[in-house]
Structure formats: structure tokens, C-alpha cells
Amino acid sequence: MTLPIVKPLDRAAEPGLRALLDGKAKPPGALGRIEDLALQLALIQGRPDPKVERALLLVFAGDHGLTAEGVSSYPASVTTAMVATFLAGKASANAFARAAGAEVRVVDAGVAADLAPHPALVDAKVRAGTRNAAVEPAMTAQETAQAMARGAEIAATCVADGVDVLALGEMGIGNTASAALLMHRLAPAPLQACVGRGAGHDDAGLARKLAVLERAAGRSDATSPLEVMAQFGGCEIAMMAGAVLGAASAGGVVLVDGFISTAAALAAIRLQPAAQAHCVFSHASAESGHALMLQALGADPLLDLGLRLGEGTGALLALPLLRAATRLLSDVASLDDVLAGRL
């Protein structure tokens, strides 16, 4: 497998950028984490006036063999139905994208159905859903490599085409179960701490989900990122992990959504730690385990709104904060100019 190499950020300009921020017409540090975000965006883009003009949400879609075990309260057919909803512009992510001024594309990473061509659909299908990870590896090593390489290629091409911020979303019934297994091995963390209610399990459903995942985890002792992804991952999660690496290698900003997107970022960062500097973690999901996964990464999300939908909705809600941070550098006068009357 050939994945792009992510180089560490060049931080030589950091002292100058921090001085520039401190010299704006405000007390130093008065805008808190927005100042840190402005600095991060400037370092990623390698310029003192970073821009977030073009934002694109990629919704990676795939099905999971684990759904045969009852790990989701919804049938697998909902994945295909929701892809159609995205393409019709009628999902929550579409509404939030319009509000935030972002484009939306859907990537068929592994939907268990034949999807009709559509201008907003990227056909990157690796296989028609993963295998049942409770009884066998979800993907072969070759399928995992293909998914990650394809995700890296898609993301790098988007950045090369002028996308300033790439937001990562997903759709796949059963993918919180897969993400929990990835977190369990890659954070690492006790499995019970990683397993939540997903799209709406009651107590009995949650207990059943945990029992299935205990059986899946007991089947393999994999701990390396690529092997863990092959054993327990999803086509869409593997492709998102590749997208993190592809966007980061091309100098792009990656806006990470919730629990599942963070699991993909976790896998990418465990492979290439330098990728983390390119990631902005948008929000703290209400899904059990997300806070612990963010803690394992040392990541501090921008928002905490009790979201647990996925789709990239949290990333889209955080997008205006990135735009505001860039405007701090480009549009706010310096304190010296204010005091000298040079406005």
C-alpha cells in the first residue's frame, strides 16, 4: 500500500504569527481558542492570512456486516436510503451545509447496493459492505489498503482543486460498533468504555451490542492500525482515514466530525502522527466514548452541543468558527494603527 507521507508542520513562523495576533486591537489572548485556531490555520496553510473560502463536506458511505448481529437499531437498508437523501439535498448535513456555505459530495466507499450515477456521488466502492467482524475480518489487507489509498487520493485531489477545508462525514448503519472496536484497540481503552447507544439503542440493545463486540474483539488480538482497520473497520472509515492523510499531505485543513470520524482520524494519526496538526476537531459528540477518544488524542473540540447524528453535521456547525479565525488575522486592525489613527 502506498499512502502519502505527512510532513510535520514548519513552525518557524509561529512566534511571528503569535506576535501578530497579540498586536491586534484587543488584549492579548482575549479571543481565547479562536486565536489558537487562527494560528493553527496559518501554520497549516503556510501564510499569515489563511483563508477558508471553499469548504467541502465529504460524506463517506458504507455498510457493515456486523449489522447481521443486531448491533444497530436500524436495518442496513437505511444506508442506501440516506445516501439518496443526501443526493436529493434533504438530509440534515445538506441543510447545515447550505447554512455554512459548504459543498457536499457523497463517496460510495462500500454501500451494499448499486447506486445510480449522480453529479454529487463519487464511486469509490471497495466492496458491497464489509464482512461480519464478529466471525471474521471485516476486510482483507488488500481491501483496507485500497480503501485508504482511494480516500487519500480523493482528499488530495480536492485540496489541489482549491478546497481550503475538507470536512469529514459518514453514513453507515452499524458504524458506531466498528468505530468502538477501532477505539478499543487504537486509543487504547476498555471496550465497555467505547460502546455507546449509537443511533438509539435501549438498554437491552446496548447490552446486545456490547456482547457482540466482545465476541468480535476476542476473535483477534490485532493492535497495529492497519491490522485493526482490516479486522474491525468499515470501508467508509478506512477511506476517511486515508482522506485525513491525503488532505494533510497536500497541506489541507481537515475538519473532523464526531465519534466515527474521530475513529478514522485516530487510525490515521496512529499511522502518521504528523497528520494531527492538520486536524481541527469540531465537537464533542454525545456518543459514549467520544470524550475518551478525544482525550487519547489530546484533542480539544471546539463545540459541545450534545450531537450524535454524524453525517458531518458537527463539522459544518464549527465551520463558521474557522472562518472567523481567519478574519481575525486578515481583517482586524493592529492596536498600533488604532492608537495612531491609521484606520
CA–CA dist 59, 82 (Å, integer): 11
Sheet holding 165-171, edge to edge: 121-123, 102-110, 55-62, 165-171, 253-256, 279-281
Q: Which of 35, 69, 287, 311 is catalytic?
A: 311
Are 48 and 23 within 8 A, CB to CB? no
Does 35 participate in catalysis according to the annotation?
no
Helix (H, G, I), strand (E, B) or coil at 171: strand
40, 11 contact by CB (below 8 A): no
Other C-beta atoms within 10 Å of 94: how many? Answer: 21
* Amino acid in position 316: L
Return the sign of the alpha-carbon dihedral for residues 58, 55, 318, 22: positive
Query: Which among 26, 27, 33 has a CA at the least distance from the CA of 281?
Result: 33
Q: Which residues are catalytic?
A: 311
